[in-house]
Amino acid sequence: MAGRLRMMFLGPPGVGKGTYATRIAPKLNIPTISTGDLVRAEIKQNTELGKKIKDYSSQGKLVPDEIILTMVRQRLQQTDAQKGYILDGFPRNVSQAIEFDKIATLDTVFNFELPDWVLVEKLSGRRVCDSCGTGYNIADIKNGEYVMPPLLPKVDSTCDKCGSDKIIQRADDTLEVVKHRLQVYTDETEPLIKYYADKGILKSFHVKKGLADLPRINAMLGIQEDSKL
């Protein structure tokens, strides 16, 4: 995989691309770049871009592609991104991809696949500690090739990290919202599969066991099996 480190992880909400990216990127000595993280950083630092983003958010509007692309361009210019990077969840649609092609080139796009019924179970099963943000999942998926055990607190209803008993389901993880998010992905983001396939840089990966699939992903990336992730 040497020389081909400029990557994008593509896939629907709940497929695990962010989790995979945060474990794989350090082993390749490249950063994970998430537009969500970039947005939060701009707001926290109260930059001019951050102020514009807050204005759009307060009006219930989506952040324009121009602002997103400006943030990404600035991030790619930082030293740690010179050897490569993993884009997590960006570009979000074909129009963003076309504009991104004007500022950078991707070598490989990994498309992570899971059936909708698994995604619905995983997303609606997510729970989070309301005090410290530690994540859990009550979904216990055992169906044919799909084996994804739950991630539960060691002590029932008590956060392992801070001891709080306030482990909740976030509003955006309710069944109705989850189904809407998956439909938005199908309508807006899924066309990227064909876009990158036509460029000859798409590699598809069928998720079966969540984190336990990491060795298979490592093999595709040329990461040694004894690497600790």
Active site residues: 17, 92, 126, 170, 181
Q: How are strands ordered across the β-sheet holding 108-113?
A: 32-34, 85-88, 6-10, 108-113, 202-206
Q: C-alpha angle with apex 229: 109 to 26, nearest 5 degrees?
A: 60
The first and second tokens of residue 38, run together, are 């970039």
Is residue 197 a contact partner of residue 94, using CB atoms and an 8 Å limit? no
CB atoms within 10 A of CB 70: 16
What backbone torsions phi and psi does residue 88 show, to the nearest 5 degrees?
-110, 105
Chain-centre distance for alpha carbon 157: 27
Pairing of strands 146-148, 141-143: antiparallel
If DSSP codes are grouped into helix, strand and coil, which group holds residue 49?
helix
